[in-house]
């Protein structure tokens, strides 16, 4: 479980973790649905620039790029399913949270918002 503190309140997400190369490579590929309030958290274990793509991913996603201090660096909204276009983090990040498209807009999540959870060392 992780939480994002935005201007509209605290939003909890039940997350699956992708912590090794194989899990991160597969991600949410081949899935047909992702319930609201759920997501996948990709942990890179240290801050580094990353890029994602939507190859074999059938669900449009919002990608939230999170620094090691738990602050959101950048967001890619409404990604295009099955696209091979690179989606960069725009700087070093510790983790990426993928949630169903529209979540970021609906909940008012923005760069600079705080994410709490065990990997961020901020009490989650």
Give me the residue spans of the domains in the chain.
2-120
pTM for this model (two decimals)? 0.95
CATH architecture of structural domain 2-120: Sandwich (2.60)
Residue 84: burial class (beta carbons within 10 Å; 0-12, 13-18, 19+): exposed
DSSP for 54-91 reads -TT--S-EEEEEE-TTSBEEEEE-SPPTT----EEEEE
Residues paired with 3 in a beta bridge: 12, 116
20-47 tens-digit pLDDT: 999 999 999 999 999 999 999 999 999 9
Given a cut of 50, the residues of the chain with pLDDT beneath it are: 123-124
């Amino acid at each position: 479980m992780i939480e994002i503190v935005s201007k509209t309140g605290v939003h909890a997400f039940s997350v699956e973790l992708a912590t090794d190369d194989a899990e991160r490579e597969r991600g949410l590929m081949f899935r047909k649905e992702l319930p609201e309030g759920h997501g996948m958290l990709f942990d890179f274990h240290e801050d580094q620039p990353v890029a994602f793509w939507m190859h074999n991913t059938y669900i449009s996603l919002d990608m939230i790029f999170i620094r090691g201090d738990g602050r959101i660096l950048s967001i890619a909204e409404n990604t295009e399913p099955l696209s091979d276009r690179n989606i960069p983090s725009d700087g070093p990040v510790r983790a990426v949270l993928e949630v169903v498209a529209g979540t970021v807009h609906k909940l008012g999540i923005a760069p600079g918002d705080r994410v709490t959870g065990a990997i961020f060392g901020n009490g989650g």
